[in-house]
Amino acid sequence: MPSALVYILIITKYGKKKAVANKLLRFKEIEDIHELYGQYDIIIKISAPDLRKLEDFIQNNIRTMKDIEGTETLVVSDIPSK
């Protein structure tokens, strides 16, 4: 497991879900992107070597995107194994 793994739920401005998803595709740090129905528009999975690098990436790349209205960050605490 990477040192820092998070899922971020994203709310976009009305009608901007596809545009935001396409912009997010350019970041190598983002492992998965899924568009959603419901309260949130997009969920992304990001991993980084440590929490500081992860925080820097989120602050400088995700939260600065003009068509993102809000985010909810979920930090993974453990990944159970079989």
Confidence band for 23, pLDDT divided at 50, 70 and 90: very high
pLDDT band at 4 (very low <50, low <70, confident <90, very high): confident
Residue boundaries of the structural domains of the chain: 4-44+59-72
- The rounded distance, in Å, linking the Cα atoms of 15 and 75 is 28
Dig out the tokens for 50 from the structure: 């440590």
DSSP letter, residue 29: T
Read off the pLDDT band of 2 (50, 70, 90): low
Model pLDDT, residue 29: 92
Instruction: Compute the distance between CA of residue 62 and CA of residue 31 in angstroms, rounded to an integer.
Output: 14
Cα–Cα distance measured from residue 43 to residue 17, given in angstroms and rounded to the nearest whole number: 11
Query: What is the per-residue pLDDT across 31-81, written as a single tens digit (0 to 9) for each?
Result: 999 999 999 999 999 988 888 999 999 999 999 999 999 999 999 988 888
Q: Which CATH number fits domain 4-44+59-72: 3.30.70.920, 1.10.357.10, 2.60.120.10, 3.40.50.300?
A: 3.30.70.920
